[in-house]
Chain A
Amino acid sequence: MIRSLLSGDTPRSLPLALLLGGILICLALAPFLFPGVRTVDTAARICVFIVLVASYDLLLGYGGIVSFAHTMFFGIGAYGVALASTHMGRGFDAIAFGAVAGALLAAALALVIGLFSLRVRAIFFAMITLAVASAVAVLVSQLSGLTGGEDGLTFKTPRELGPAFKFGKEAFDGTLFGVKLNGKLLAYYFVFLGALVLFLGLLRVVNSPFGRVLQAIRENDFRAEAIGYRVVYYRVAATCLSAAIAALAGSLYAVWLRYVGPDTSLSMEIMIDILLMVVIGGMGTMYGAVIGATLFVLAQNYLQNLMGAAAELTSALPLLPELLNADRWLLWLGVLFILSVYFFPTGIVGRLRNSG
């Protein structure tokens, strides 16, 4: 059962399996294990980024295609939901319509970019995605009438997904294990289940014959052609699929935040974060996305606190509290990345699998 859910791609290493199992349990029970606005928000971000990074890994790790437009597709999905909810009124139909329209638009855009540039060399694709992504980011901030410009859009999701919606009053007195049963809890599970389904879907794709052909093309595209596979078709299909999944991840994120803006869904910074998450977790394995996204989002959210606490603890010592000052968290984040790439060149998953 578990095997078929994972499409036969088991972790193949006990520490990795334990780690993934731990992450799954923590995310599945996050609102109950770590109640609090900030912790649940972090958990939701992790869910969204796992899907986003996994869809990028389909391109980079399996297809060997470098793209800089992944946040653009992410943003298209997010803006799709925001615009649909704004214009159609709050409702699940608006979310569904926005998400599907966003995914289709992302796939169509990826198709055009892919057909133009993937016929030649992969490097042109990277450059064109960079150009298109920058253009779209500028466009979104300029078309402020439609997109809200730099301020972004705040919109309403269905009442059932908002904090004002309460349920289970009769059965559980409105709380379960001390956690209030409200729409925010439902919104979290909406994001969690959506991310889980998308992730398992991606796992299915990379372990299908299609995924194998992609890997073959990444290793030796001429050989794959000589066996009879049309390399361009496969590359373009992978690009479209990855764009559509990224857009769906964007839709989930928009549903969670009830807000979209260039900073949360379109900026180049997120693109670089995605790249780092893929590399830290391990390229060419979907589980790398899980580990990379979890570690990265946790570090982004909690390293500052951790360092503040460490600085206080060491306040009696010379120099150390200065180095550990919470304001220097970005420095340490950078050091952590360099160390992780140095010690785990194949990513954390690659390392765990090899040592097992």
Chain B
Amino acid sequence: MSDAILKLEGVYTNIAQYHILQGVDLEVPRGAVTMLLGRNGVGKTTTLRTVIGHWRAHQGKILFDGEDITKMPTPAIARMGLGFVPEDMGIFADLTVEENMVLAAASGPINSARLDWIFAAFPPLKTFWKSDAGTLSGGQKQMLSIARAMVEERKLYLIDEPTKGLAPAIISTMARALKDLKDQGASVLLVEQNFAVAKALGDSANVMDDGRMIWSGQMQELATDAALQERLMGLSLEAH
């Protein structure tokens, strides 16, 4: 398919002696939100980290915007237009919110219209603009982590469990911001355990198990089929 922004073909990734990814195939279409689902420990995070180059694929091929990035160094991949929001947020705690954002806008000064949009989506970032990022609450750190990816227009956003461990009120703020991003026509690959959020945002879905992709299709199809969920993920996600 030519309009895929990201394509993984038979990707194998080993971490130490563990074979985490065992032939992952994945296509992320341009201008849509693609969900990556599955139980804990099946390789979702490893898949994202292999794309950005933190872990190296031992076999297989990763194409980003038509280019082979399998062996490219991480900074080069990032500069091609890939925004990554890691599971652990990875904010720079000793720097201010502003400095975190300025650093993330690696290609130049922050676009003010984009910053206004980010402030509208995450008001606390405006309030604490000059504060050390380490003093933010967990939810605010997550906002900063996502805002850092959104500060520049990226070709693709990789977002790893943005709602993990957050209070319900903050989850809805987060979901609204991601919906905003989606409405702007951004391409997103999203790992999400919160099924309500996944259902609301996802266009297509891919389910992993044991280092492989076991199902790919429309999110709508998965969301309405409890038996399918049960079979793919071993439990009814609606019960969460």
Contacts and interface: CB of A to CB of B under 8 A. Distances in A.
Q: A and B, one complex?
A: yes
Interface of A: 209, 212-213, 215-216, 219-220, 222-231, 284
Interface in B52-104: 52-54, 73-75, 78-79, 84, 86, 90-95, 99, 102-104
Contacts of A227: 78, 103-104, 106, 148
A286 to B, nearest CB: 14
A212 B148 contact: no
A215 B79 CA distance: 20
A225 B95 contact: no
B75 A230 contact: yes
Contacts of A209: 102-103
A213 B104 CA distance: 10
Nearest to A218: B94
Given A223-B86, A226-B52, A227-B78, A216 B95 contact: yes
A228 B78 contact: yes
B90 A220 contact: yes
Minimum-distance CB pairs A-B, first 3: A228-B78, A223-B90, A225-B74
Given A223-B86, A225-B75, A227-B148, 9 more contacts: A215-B95, A219-B93, A220-B92, A223-B92, A225-B54, A225-B78, A229-B103, A229-B106, A230-B73
B112 to A, nearest CB: 18
A115 to B, nearest CB: 15
Counting chain B residues whose Cβ lies within 8 A of the other chain, the interface size class is: 20 to 34
Instruction: Say what secondary structure dominates the interface of chain A.
Output: helix
B95 A226 contact: no
10 contacts: A215-B92, A216-B92, A216-B103, A220-B90, A225-B53, A225-B73, A226-B54, A227-B106, A228-B78, A284-B94
B121 to A, nearest CB: 20
Nearest to A217: B92
A225 B106 CA distance: 11
Interface in B97-141: 99, 102-104, 106
Interface of B: 52-54, 73-75, 78-79, 84, 86, 90-95, 99, 102-104, 106, 148
B103 A213 contact: yes
Contact of B54 (A212, A216, A222, A229): A222
Given A209-B102, A212-B103, A216-B103, A226 B92 contact: no
A228 B92 contact: no
B67 to A, nearest CB: 16
A230 B93 CA distance: 20
A212 B99 CA distance: 7
Contact of A226 (B84, B91, B99, B102): B84
Contacts of B84: 226
Contacts of B148: 227
B12 to A, nearest CB: 21
B86 A219 contact: no
B94 A219 contact: yes
Given A222-B90, A223-B90, A227-B106, A212 B95 contact: yes
Nearest to B100: A216
A178 B104 CA distance: 58
Contacts of A230: 73, 75
A215 B75 CA distance: 17
A226 B86 contact: yes
Contacts of A231: 75
A6 B198 CA distance: 49
Contacts of A229: 75, 103, 106
A212 B102 contact: yes
Contacts of B92: 215-216, 219-220, 223
A8 to B, nearest CB: 12
Contacts of A212: 95, 99, 102-103
B114 to A, nearest CB: 16
Nearest to A284: B94
A224 B73 CA distance: 13
A31 B94 CA distance: 40
Contacts of A224: 103
Contacts of A213: 103
A222 B78 CA distance: 12
A82 to B, nearest CB: 40
A97 B53 CA distance: 46
Contacts of B54: 222, 225-226
A223 B103 CA distance: 11
A222 B87 CA distance: 13
B80 to A, nearest CB: 9
A231 B73 CA distance: 11
B17 to A, nearest CB: 20
Nearest to B89: A223
Contacts of A215: 92, 94-95
A282 to B, nearest CB: 13
